[in-house]
Structure 1
Amino acid sequence: MSFIRTLLGDIPPEELGFTYSHEHIVCRPAYWKERDGDDLLLDDKEKSKKDVADFKHHGGRSIIDATAVDYGRDVQAVQEISEELDIHIVGTAGFNKSFLWNANIKPELRVTLGNYKTYNEWIDSKSINELTDFVVKEVEEGLEGTPYKAGQVKFGTGYNRIAPLEEKTLRAVARAHYETKAPVHSHTEAGTMALEQIELLKSESVNLSYMSFGHMDRNPDPYYHEQIAKTGAYLCFDGIAKIKYAPESTRIHCLLELVNKGYENQILVSGDTARKTYYKHYDYGPGLEFIIAKWVPRFIDDANRQGFDGEALVHKFFIDNPARCFTFKK
């Protein structure tokens, strides 16, 4: 039996439709809140909802919300957006990266996590198997005590290194995947350490065709991308519209290099739209409509000029590949 688990329940993979594979919709990361990082607080449900509505207006059908417990999820608000707009949203169990763990655990989570002050303290105090049980519960029972279940599990590592607690959470997430068959997503800081993550995942006997590696366009190295793709994993290019990191031509070049090498079935595309200044209805940014309304036509034109079938590739990147990547296969 194959299905995709959304905040509104399980659906057949063919219902997923046009999908953004890594976004953040409503979240208040404690790390940034404690440091007055207002730009990184997506704290207004109605403004976020307007951006999601724009995405739907242009034909968008589904969003993978990659917000883990340590990044200030608002599970209820995101579920309400899903229900009110009749759009599929997939929630995320697991963890992000270690520097965020110095933040205080929000009070309402202490009933669930125990009387720990910070995420770092909580993760450090728990065994791998105890953390595994926490992730499994969020997939099989619900996120943060709600009835809304996670549709993927996640871990993350830092820039050019894997800290001991990050390895601990990676192994916990790998074991939760093994138990639940939930798809697995990885945060790679600036696109680094994916190959090192792969070695750890192999030691946990993870089938890498269940994996998607995020932020691949932050490290625009076609050789590196090929080494990851050879494992059967998905590569998520989720920095669209972030020109401060690279022009779109660089991202498109990396995408088409993978296509040239035969890996077009392992590519996902999204925006990781996690700042007010990226959102249209918070602070006049490009918004969630940008990729589907503006980037996709540009990509099709650019790909066609280079001898590819741009429309066919868009169908793969946004419809076919997500439908396979985010499926539970039991």
Structure 2
Amino acid sequence: MASSEVDQKFLGRLAKAIEPSNPLLSSMLFKILGLSINLAAQTVKARKQRKLDTTRTTQSLDLYFHIIWLAREGLIMLEQYVLPMVGDHGELKVLAYKLRASFYYIFVLFHNNPPVSTMGLSTSQGSDTTARPQTPPMPRLDKGKGVDRGEPAPPETPTPTRSSLQPTHPIEGGPVGPPPGFGPQAPEPAAAFLLPAVDYLPTAHQYFKEAESYADTLLWGSHSLRLSVKTEFAAFLYDCVHDREGSRRLARKTVAEVYDASEGMDDDMFNDACELVTVLGKMMKRGLGSNNTLRPSTPGASQGTTSQAGSAATIVPTAGMENPI
């Protein structure tokens, strides 16, 4: 997520390469690179916690704010200064569109409304007093005179009531509710002051499709940046869209395309591609049991999906292709 080590390598290379011709674009890429390194460390820390706790302000809530703020600032720099200037730069164009999808991926994970994962917060900051019933205060028996010793209060003179059943004035006749807009409302997420709490899932899904389309068009099958796009898209489908079979299908298809690729690459890109293929191989079996059957806890799994996923979960490479790249 915004971004992988492969994305960070390409950010540094491309920023250095275009520095003589476009210093502004180069400086923004370097800034996004620094922001992405910080953001990646924060998201890893949040994933280890698994659930952000609003009561632990210094450890959990501040981390939540920091992640949302970094993703928001990175998206602003990307959309205002990078996307309008990518032009015909193939790798830079794929990387820019992939980073935009990655930033929205973070919004969906941590700040989506309605929430789609357990990573984010769905209540307001700190303890929510609006969700707890307020206990009315006990009436004082001493009326402010002397000390209450638990003795029963003396009977009071009954107040005369109206004999008429109808109110004599329009404002009489019962309690008056609050004016429109001032009644009890659902609590907002704690970071609503940083970013509107809306549903970012459809937008993120569309941006991943655009990044995948550019990657398929502009990059060859075993290009490490293309594999980075596919890997994060498969993770998004699994974590946010909850399309587990779609995530495994994308991973299988990507690995098969790597087998068929015949383009050469340098040692560094080869090593990155090997690591990503290993990750994709694990994602092909993610959510499956040891016997390639869907786990019982998988929601919405059908018998047809179980047999189909189990039969296609393992790819047997063709002869001479024992090496996945």
Q: Place the TM-score, normalised by the shorter chain, in its bin.
A: under 0.3
Question: Higher strand fraction: Structure 1 or Structure 2?
Answer: 1
Structure ranking higher on relative contact order (CA contacts 8 Å, 6+ apart): 1
TM-score normalised over the length of structure 1: 0.25
Q: Which has the larger radius of gyration?
A: 2
